[in-house]
Amino acid sequence: MTALTPNSEHLELTDFVYRKYRKVGDHDTQIPGVTVHLRNSPTEPLHCVYTLSLALVLQGSKELLLDGDIRHCCAGQTMLTTFDLPVISHVTEASRTSPFIAVILKLDYGLILECCEELKLPQPAKDIRYQALSCHDVEQGMLHTVKRLFETQNEPTLKVGLMPLIQKEIVFRLLDGPHGLHLRHLATEGSPNSRVVSAISWLKHNFMKQIGMDTLAEKAHMSPSTFRQYFKSLTGNSPLQYLKTLRLQEARDQMVANGLDASLASSMVGYESASQFSREYSRLFGLSPQKDIKRLRDGQ
């Protein structure tokens, strides 16, 4: 897949981001929920979990493997992820003179529902193929909006008031653009999908507890078999596998950020067996906890 030829606004945003965040790595910004990612060489495939977010690739390209399907995202494209998805990801195009640069904006499901209601958009057709991860060329309006979001960092007296408004505009543009069908499919009020999403939202806050899948089905007001069917359709995983993914990702985050060992991290997220934790961790992330955390800390 060939990268788009960047226009002046694309080049200005790329230059603005690169001048502010030159160091290779992952950078928090002054904008809530927004991070910048730089690499100056291609990377090895890495098992990771993508959350509800929008990624804008400004320079370079990356490749993702999701459920055996290869996806490419190049400079000038946006990638929308509507669920926490286990993927294998790696940067395929980057160099010291032309590093890979991407901006990731975490999205809020509540804001998505609010914007759907305000826009009064029609429900997507039932025959539309829903995608939990989609890639499209960035629209000029979206590029301009993201650029304005970054520029608010230079306006200290205005940024607190402006940032939430611009982030809301980004959601409006997502809903009205090529990614919109997937977000609207996710957020259709009262639909089986929205009831599954509500159950998932509850699960994300309670995944450390011992949870029966029938309990989740009850929260979605569905029979267990119907719940599993819709859950699998939306997330690509069974409810049990999704729960495991949440727990393993949280354990991984705790080991990287807070220096916990595998035994403590596994018990913290609800595992009773350290050996079971290690097996399932290796299956999801491709390495044992010890080797995976070392690689993450070494920046590889």
pLDDT digits (tens, 9 = 90+) for 66-112: 877 899 999 999 999 987 788 889 999 999 999 999 999 999 888 88
**Structurally, how many domains does the chain consist of?**
3
126 and 60 housed in the same domain: yes
**Looking at the structure, do residues 67 and 208 belong to the same domain, yes or no?**
no
- Regarding whether 108 and 47 lie in a shared domain, the answer is yes
pLDDT digit string, tens, across residues 241-266? 888 988 998 999 899 989 999 999 99
Which of the four pLDDT bands, split at 50, 70 and 90, describes residue 184? Answer: confident
Domain CATH code at residue 251: 1.10.10.60
Q: Band of the pLDDT at 136, cuts 50, 70, 90? A: very high
Residue among 229, 172, 168, 166 nearest 196 (CA): 229
Are 230 and 250 part of one and the same domain? no
8 A C-beta contact, residue 6 and residue 81: no
Which range marks the domain in which residue 230 is found?
190-236
Average pLDDT over residues 120-143: 81
Same domain, 54 and 33: yes
What are the percentages of helix, strand and coil residues in the chain, rounded to 5? Answer: 50, 20, 30
Q: Does 143 lie in the same domain as 129?
A: yes
Query: Is the same domain home to 73 and 125?
Result: yes
Residues 226 and 248 in one domain: no
231 and 276 in a common domain? no
Here the tokens at position 45 are 């495939």
* The overall pTM is greater than 0.75: yes
Give yes or no: residues 194 and 180 share one domain. no
Task: Please indicate, yes or no, if residue 2 is contained in any of the structural domains.
Answer: no
- Assess if residue 3 is contained within a domain: no
Q: Kindly state whether residue 91 falls inside one of the protein's structural domains.
A: yes
Note the pLDDT of residue 188.
64
Is residue 26 within 8 Å of residue 35, measured between CB atoms? yes
My answer on whether 47 and 88 are in the same domain is yes
Cβ-based burial of 101 (10 A; exposed 0-12, middle 13-18, buried ≥19): buried
Closest CA to 39 of 104, 95, 97, 103: 95
| CATH value at residue 43 | 2.60.120.10
Domain end, chosen from 203, 218, 236, is at: 236
Residues 272 and 179 in one domain: no
Q: Residue 20, exposed/middle/buried by CB under 10 A (0-12, 13-18, 19+)?
A: middle
Inter-axis angle of helices 180-187 and 109-119, nearest 10 = 100
Give CA–CA dist 60/2, Å, rounded. 10
